[in-house]
Amino acid sequence: MIDFTAWDIVRNLLLAARWTVALSLVAFALGGLVGLLVLFARVGRAKPLRWGAVAFIEVFQGTPLLMQLFLVFFGLPLVGVDTPAWFAACLALTLWTAAFLAEIWRGCVESVPKGQWEASASLAMNYLQQMRHVVLPQALRLAVPPTVGFSVQVVKGTALASIIGFVELSKASTMITNASFQPFTVYGAAAAAYFLLCFPLSAWSRRLERTLHVAHRN
């Protein structure tokens, strides 16, 4: 039997944590892009797009992320798409992130007072000009702290990708535990790794909330 030193455990967890970070970054970046499209559909004027966006948001917010992972992982092969675990994890997490970010951002757009829409309309701006120059700049300031805060959920959400066999921090923990028979040490170290990833983000989010609030105009 191989003897696992503490360093072996930590080293292997850190190697696996790279994949947690990579998956988080991909899900957050792509989820942000898709989320922006969903946001525009959600607050726009075209009714079919709005309904589509509402349906998308409700489905992804109303079902467990784990089911979404399973459906992508087992569903896409049924329609003939080759679906490795990393791809399924990226896709499911991206869509899940997009749904939540779109809803967070919708709240920010809608909290821009109606008078701002009316004033910009009375100055003959069209919808896109109103959005681009008046509403989104104000919504953005409101959106930054909760968006950064939500990134913590994305990092923790990546742990579920272990269940479809993607080797990130959680899956690596299980594998090391199975070999070392030291579950408490291994999972404790993994939890600490998650905390080290998440704590700076939530601290940053709180800080942004403070500074942006102070700088908030009007």
Partner 1 sequence: MSLIEIRDLHKRFGAVEVLKGIDLDIAAGEVVAIIGKSGSGKSTLLRCMNGLESHEAGSITVGGKVLLQDEEHLRALRLEVGMVFQQFNLFPHLTAGRNVMLSPMVVKGLAEAEAKPIAEKVLARVGLAEKFGSFPDQLSGGQQQRVAIARALAMNPKALLCDEITSALDPELVNEVLAVVKSLAADGMTLAMVTHEMRFARDVCDRVLFMHQGRIHESGRPEDVFASPKTPELQQFLGALS
Instruction: Rule CB under 8 A: say whether 116 interacts with partner 1.
Output: yes
Distance CA 109, CA 138 (A): 8
Question: Does residue 212 interact with partner 1 by CB under 8 A?
Answer: no
Which of 5, 47, 82, 218 touches partner 1 (CB under 8 A)? 218
Question: Which residue's CB is nearer to partner 1, number 51 or number 127?
Answer: 127
- Per-residue mark of binding to partner 1, 135-154 (x: CB under 8 A): --xx--x-------------
Per-residue binding letters, 74-113, with partner 1 (x by CB under 8 A): ---------------------------------------x
- The tokens 């989820």 sit on which residue? 31
Does residue number 217 form part of the binding site for partner 1 (CB under 8 A)? Answer: yes
Footprint on residues 118-137 left by partner 1 (CB under 8 A):
118-127, 129, 133-134, 137
Token pair 């959920």 in the structure block, residue: 153
139 contacts 109 by C-beta, under 8 angstroms: yes
Phi, psi for 202 (deg, rounded to 5)? -70, -30
CB of 111 to partner 1, least distance (A): 13
Helix, strand, coil: what percent of the chain each, to 5? 85, 0, 15
- The per-residue b/e assignment along 61-88, b for 16 or more CB within 10 angstroms, e otherwise, is eeeebeebbbebbeeeeeeeeebebbeb
Residues in touch with partner 1 (CB under 8 A): 113, 115-116, 118-127, 129, 133-134, 137-138, 141, 217-218
